[in-house]
Amino acid sequence: MKNPAIRSTLRFLQKIALIFLILLGIHMLHDAIRGDQVLTAGLEQLEHLKQQDMSNPKLAAIARELDYLYRASYFQTHDKRRFGLRLLGVGLLVFCLLLGAERFFLPPELSVPKGYPVSPEHDSGELIATTVCGVVALFSVLAYIRRSSSRPLPDRSDTVAVASKTAADVPATVFESGRQPSPTAAKTPVLAEAVEAETHQWPQFRGSLLPNRNALPANWRFREKWKTAIASPGYNSPVVWDGSVFLTGADEKARTLFCYDVQTGKEKWRVVCDKAPQVPEVSEDTGLAPPTVCVDAERVYAIFGTGEMVCCSHTGETVWRKQLPFPDITYGYASSPLLLGDRIIVQYDLNEAQTLYAFNVLNGATLWEKKRDAAPSWSSPVACVADGKAIIFTAGCRTAEAYDAQTGDSLWRLECMGGEVAASGAARDGIFYFSNTGAFTGAFSSTDGKILFKNEDTPSPDVSSAVLYNDLYLLFTSGGSVLGIDAKDGKELFEENFDNGFYASPVAVGGKIIAANLDGDLLLLSATREKLTVEAKYALKTKLFAVPALSQGNLIVRTGENDLICLEAEP
């Protein structure tokens, strides 16, 4: 191709790039102005409403819903502007590359002058001047958009404080039961009392923080007490408090928190979340409902792969809702929340920002929020609890870090991880344990982060989380291997192999280990320093991804076919 044809092509592409930049800039400027107007009007309405008599249940409900919608709109607008700025940056880069290609690789053409001669330098000067003016105008638009994007979120403390005085935070249409919230005052949970009470329940991912005291089934010969089809898909595990089983399901239309009767399996109520500003694309094996819910004596707390959070009473009344920033993360958001007395901890590690939140269980107010220079991960936080205090451990794809649960202060941070971290840690006696493929198997002092042992030779799990059992740290892999690690020095003691792998995390209860594999086998195990022993096996004959829950000597199991089953021991 000759120079004139190349030059013509480059100039055509320059025009296309310039038109793209101008149109996108105009669109973003219009969108920024309009978005500012909408957000300003919404904020004014919210501030005006907060001056009213918030003891009125209807006004409190409107204030809470308006605050929820305002924040959802804020984050949606922010995400759109950030995406637009990226497009502008790419377009400007392409435009500059095209200008540079013409300027530096194609010499100016000399032609026979017609009338007054115009030099190539004059043409080039005009092009440069036009480009400079265009870039200045573009950056002026970007500056305005950037300024408008920096609008702070309103202080929510006043809203949640007044609205939480009445439990009628959300109109009854958000839950099917139609009950109005009770006006009784909520009691702030005390950490030591809360974690002790948990040991007799099955309140969160993998049970309770302290050793669980639920009774094991009388034997491992089960019969089906009841079976219920769950209305929405999900990979989270069931939790149990007294007479109720809680779990979630989700699709693009709605995200739902379900409550079932533990004796009959009948659905008691459901609460729907369907106001997410944007539904992310997720992988099939993650879905929109992978996090396991938390429950205490009064409330149940759920988070979805859309960033929606909801808190409900045990009878189905909505207590509070939140919308976190859009969860832009490969595969989908999957970390389960951690309940620590008066606060719920959320590890929100996304592609571009990693944040650890502590929310007040009574009203959803942010107690603290810590930005983390980490990397995206799918791990769930764990905690050491002693003397009424808690230290939180987080594992990411690059760092391991510990935080003071009361203040959110970082206690220590180590850049020692690798791979795609999906497994969660374990805690005992002031030590955090962790194992994940691509990272390592190791132990950390909870107070100063000192690495007590580090094993990089033993195969590690990539989905399920390892479990502490007596003086062992047991690793269950998706390939079907179970490896016994000395919990003191990290040395490998034994390896056992099964025909299929483990996605569900094992749990240690009553001196035994309960594990579920992809063949649908429920395994009752024990272990010594020499070997792993299968004491009993029950075949459900369906894939199992969720951790079984214990309740009154029964097993509550969510199957890969999205059924909820209660298994009781045969007489």
Position 105, amino acid? F
For residue 250, the cross-strand partners are 255
Q: Is 502 in contact with 547 (CB distance < 8 Å)? A: no
Look at the chain and report how many structural domains it folds into: 2
* pLDDT at site 87: 78
Output the 3-class SS for 3-52.
HHHHHHHHHHHHHHHHHHHHHHHHHHHHHHHHHHHHHHHHHHHHHHHHCC
Task: Evaluate whether residue 405 is within a structural domain.
Answer: yes
Of the three residues 163, 197, 228, the one that is the final residue of a domain is: 163
* pLDDT at site 119: 55
Instruction: Assess whether 59 and 202 both reside in one domain.
Output: no
Instruction: Assess whether 126 and 192 both reside in one domain.
Output: no
Task: Evaluate whether residue 428 is within a structural domain.
Answer: yes
* pLDDT at site 468: 97
Task: Evaluate whether residue 114 is within a structural domain.
Answer: no
Question: In CATH, what number is assigned to the domain containing residue 208?
Answer: 2.130.10.10
* pLDDT at site 419: 87
Task: Evaluate whether residue 233 is within a structural domain.
Answer: yes
- pLDDT tens digits, one per residue of 146-182: 555 444 555 444 444 444 333 333 333 333 333 444 4
Task: Evaluate whether residue 308 is within a structural domain.
Answer: yes
16 pLDDT higher than 70: yes
More confident residue, 185 or 89: 89
* pLDDT at site 367: 97
Q: 318 phi and psi, to 5 degrees?
A: -75, 125
Q: What is the rounded distance in angstroms from the CA atom of residue 555 to the CA atom of residue 400?
A: 34
16-20, 37-41, 283-287: which has the minimum mean pLDDT?
Answer: 37-41
Q: Average pLDDT of 255-273?
A: 97
More confident residue, 218 or 387: 218
Confidence tier at 25 by pLDDT (50, 70, 90): confident
Task: Evaluate whether residue 543 is within a structural domain.
Answer: yes
Average pLDDT over the chain, rounded to an integer: 84
Instruction: Assess whether 63 and 127 both reside in one domain.
Output: yes
Q: What percent of the chain clears pLDDT 90, i.e. is strictly above it?
A: 63
Instruction: Assess whether 133 and 234 both reside in one domain.
Output: no
Other beta carbons within 10 angstroms of residue 271's beta carbon come to 25
489 pLDDT higher than 50: yes
* pLDDT at site 131: 60
110-124, 325-339, 496-510, 537-551: which has the minimum mean pLDDT?
Answer: 110-124
277 pLDDT higher than 60: yes
Strand order in the sheet with 318-323: 294-295, 299-303, 308-313, 318-323
Instruction: Assess whether 408 and 294 both reside in one domain.
Output: yes
**3-class state of residue 265 by DSSP:** coil
Helix ranges (DSSP H) in 165-224:
191-198
* pLDDT at site 98: 79
- pLDDT tens digits, one per residue of 332-366: 999 999 999 999 999 999 999 999 999 999 999 99
Confidence tier at 43 by pLDDT (50, 70, 90): confident
Instruction: Assess whether 133 and 176 both reside in one domain.
Output: no
Instruction: Assess whether 146 and 293 both reside in one domain.
Output: no
* pLDDT at site 179: 44
Instruction: Assess whether 99 and 226 both reside in one domain.
Output: no
40-49, 113-122, 409-418: which has the minimum mean pLDDT?
Answer: 113-122
CA distances from 258 to 6, 34, 309, 407 (A): 64, 39, 14, 33
Q: Could you tell me which residues come within 8 angstroms of residue 249 by beta carbon, excluding any fewer than 6 positions away? A: 230, 231, 232, 233, 234, 255, 256, 258, 289, 562
Q: What is the rounded distance in angstroms from the CA atom of residue 74 to the CA atom of residue 94?
A: 30
* pLDDT at site 306: 97
- pLDDT tens digits, one per residue of 397-412: 889 999 999 999 999 9
**Residue ranges with strand state E in 352-399:** 354-360, 366-372, 382-386, 389-395
* pLDDT at site 158: 46
Q: What percent of the chain clears pLDDT 70, i.e. is strictly above it?
A: 78
* pLDDT at site 58: 59
Q: Is 276 in contact with 306 (CB distance < 8 Å)? A: yes
- pLDDT tens digits, one per residue of 203-238: 999 999 999 999 999 999 999 999 999 999 999 999
Which domain covers residue 538, as residue numbers?
172-569
Q: Is 77 in contact with 40 (CB distance < 8 Å)? A: no
Element (H, E) at 100: helix 57-105
Confidence tier at 57 by pLDDT (50, 70, 90): low
Instruction: Assess whether 139 and 195 both reside in one domain.
Output: no
Instruction: Assess whether 26 and 66 both reside in one domain.
Output: yes
Torsion over CA: 406, 407, 411, 413 (sign)? positive
Task: Evaluate whether residue 367 is within a structural domain.
Answer: yes
Instruction: Assess whether 156 and 188 both reside in one domain.
Output: no
Confidence tier at 91 by pLDDT (50, 70, 90): confident
More confident residue, 422 or 136: 422
Instruction: Assess whether 191 and 128 both reside in one domain.
Output: no
Q: What is the rounded distance in angstroms from the CA atom of residue 337 to the CA atom of residue 348?
A: 9
Q: What is the rounded distance in angstroms from the CA atom of residue 358 to the CA atom of residue 346?
A: 7
Torsion over CA: 563, 523, 541, 480 (sign)? positive
Q: What is the rounded distance in angstroms from the CA atom of residue 239 to the CA atom of residue 551?
A: 9
185 pLDDT higher than 50: yes
**3-class state of residue 473 by DSSP:** strand
CA distances from 240 to 192, 235, 310 (A): 20, 16, 17
Q: Could you tell me which residues come within 8 angstroms of residue 196 by beta carbon, excluding any fewer than 6 positions away? A: 210
* pLDDT at site 177: 37
Torsion over CA: 278, 283, 288, 290 (sign)? negative
183 pLDDT higher than 50: no
